[in-house]
Amino acid sequence: MLEQKGLSLVELMIAMALGLILTLGVVEIFLSSKQTYTVVVSQSQTQENARVVKHFLGRGLRHAGYWDDATVPIALPNAGDFADNQIVFATNNDTADASVVDGTDTITVRFNGTADGQLQGCTGMTPTENQIIVDRYYVAPAGANEQVSGLRCDSEIQNMAGTSVSTDSQPLIIGVENLQIEFGIGTADRITQYVSADEVTNWGDVRSVRYALLVTSNQNSGGQEDTNTYNLIDGESVTVSGDNRLRQVQRDTVFLRNFRG
């Protein structure tokens, strides 16, 4: 009688079952690791977007009203939306400009160039000491190759009469969904109130700018759908739905050290 060799049908089925269990375990570990990686990347993107936005806006606001020779009180000209000596201008909950995401604020600053050419506008244009640069920051809709909206800046160099010399525009960073701004009204010593752009009656009284941005990751995190309500400022809140991106609110206050009251 021949001796039986190999696996019986039962043994083969048990081996296959154990193999499937091990395979499923490996797949589960892979999917879990991929999900964790996606979340970590999304968190990093959101934090980096917030950091970059704070850098650009903070730098622009600190430049507002700068004059190369502080001993010469030359007036900033009346040009465009600016009155004489006005260094900031803004719109509240813009809906008229197609280049701006509906319901978001815009802010524009202007300042003088330097003799050494070290002071630049938001797009890298360099005004001379006899020129003024005007930078407008706003949230622009997503472009054709982008998934989310972002912070953009339009820059213009003007001569001392307020006439345009050159213009430029470029995105600063994607991953910004909303921008809300308030302006600190007061004296050189203290701020008495914060108001929206619509409530500013004299831009010469503006001493500081307080803003809040809703920043988001550039890709879906793979987690659950985001249906949170994010409180910004100026009585504004944003409720999102329909995706699973990570979001956070970035707030900051910048005092205008070159105000011209």
CB-based contacts of 258, cutoff 8 Å, min separation 6: 63, 64, 65, 66, 67, 87, 111
Strands 88-94 and 104-112: antiparallel
Give the lowest-confidence range in 18-32, 64-78, 99-113, 188-202.
64-78
| Residues 188/261, Cβ–Cβ less than 8 Å | yes
Q: Does 189 fall in a domain?
A: yes
- pLDDT tens per residue across span 157-192: 988 888 888 999 999 998 899 999 999 998 777 899
CB-based contacts of 174, cutoff 8 Å, min separation 6: 49, 142, 146, 147, 148, 149, 150, 218
Domain carrying residue 47: 38-255
pLDDT band (50, 70, 90) for residue 260:
low
How many domains, in total, are found in the chain? 1
- pLDDT tens per residue across span 43-84: 777 888 888 889 999 999 999 888 876 544 455 655 655 666
Cα–Cα nearest to 138, from 213, 79, 202:
213
Q: Does 111 fall in a domain?
A: yes
- The per-residue pLDDT for 113 is 83
